[in-house]
Amino acid sequence: MSTSQQPDPRDRPARLTVGVVGAGRVGPALAASLQLAGHRPVAVSGVSDASRRRAELMLPDVPLVTPAEVLQRSELVLLTVPDDALPGLVAGLAETGAVRPGQLLAHTSGRYGAKVLDPALRAGALPLALHPAMTFTGTPVDVQRLAGCSFGVTAPEELRLAAEALVIEMGGEPEWIAEEMRPLYHAALALGANHLVTLVAQSMELLREVGVEAPDRMLGPLLGAALDNALRSGDAALTGPVARGDAGTVAAHVAELRRHAPQTVAGYLAMARATADRALAHGLLKPELAEDLLGVLADGTPGTAATSGTTGSEGTYGSEGPDGSDGTDRPDDGEGDAR
């Protein structure tokens, strides 16, 4: 079939008029994705100048109106406001009579399931929780990133198929999350994605202080490989001085961080303790080395057995070889380079 003969997505059955309440980074991207599937964005609300500019960029020619008008014009409404603002918004819309029976009301909060929409449900709306597990920039690239993106989906059982169909139309992959598990689900994502940004930013700042001109170029291959290895191999991907039990090296790290970047010490120690616990539990950290290491992590200074690790005997790569290997046998090392 030639391109000219391809059916127009807008001619598909059950196309919906779509409105967005809260033109942050998420809402316009989802609406633009639904537009590609043939749905029709008809209204968007935004308060700040940045929100308005974002709406004009992502949804050109879609009018900016009040939240109540968005609901009046739309069969599917995307509530894309911050988590803490969502309950009050839903209650206010329901109390003022803005919600219409049969209207699909979908929020994108990771924290909440469908119950936060109960005031709208009592007004006759159909509640959906559709949370994209993705970080957004507020630019058209977000629409491309939705391809293959997982969505945490929660809805009444009778609306499950409708919720999953909307996610698929946006290019996403639906993952069913039970109502009572939403806070834990959201914590898991925040632990990985949000804290990763902080860790990378701190690492780049320290490398700049060392004199590295392009810390992003230095970190990119390293962090990309570490992420890939972790996703494929889990705890077997752990490397570095904590997993090896090099207490002297860790103590040297803590001392230098206290001198040059004291604001990073608490985070370093917390993550090192968590790493040590996981390495010990999975047989990567030898128990006889753990005591000195945990002593360092408790007070930042090495015990007697660990002090030898602060000499120059590690060479250029510490006790790792230039290929990143530890030089020690590891259990469960069936993934080749996946450490």
- What DSSP letter does each residue of 223-289 carry, written as one string? HHHHHHHHHHHGGGG--SHHHHT-HHHHHHHHHHHHHH-GGGHHHHHHHHHHHHHHHHHTT-S-HHH
Instruction: Go through 308-317 and write b for each residue having 16 or more CB atoms within 10 A of its CB, e for each that does not.
Output: ebbeeeeeee
pLDDT beyond 80 at 285: yes
Nearest C-alpha neighbor of 219 from the set 205, 230, 209: 205
Q: What is the average pLDDT score of the chain? A: 86
The confidence score (pLDDT) of residue 47 equals 86
Please give the average per-residue pLDDT across 125-143, as a whole number: 95
SS3 of 18, please? strand
| Whether 248 contacts 293, CB under 8 Å | no
Q: Does 145 have pLDDT greater than 80? A: yes
pLDDT of residue 324: 36
8-177 carries CATH number 1.10.580.10? no
Q: Is residue 27 pLDDT above 60, yes or no? A: yes
pLDDT tens figures, 78-103: 999 999 999 999 999 999 999 999 99
Domain segments of the chain as ranges: 8-177, 185-314
Report pLDDT for 301: 58
More confident residue, 12 or 175: 175
| pLDDT at res. 326 | 36
- pLDDT above 80: residue 127: yes
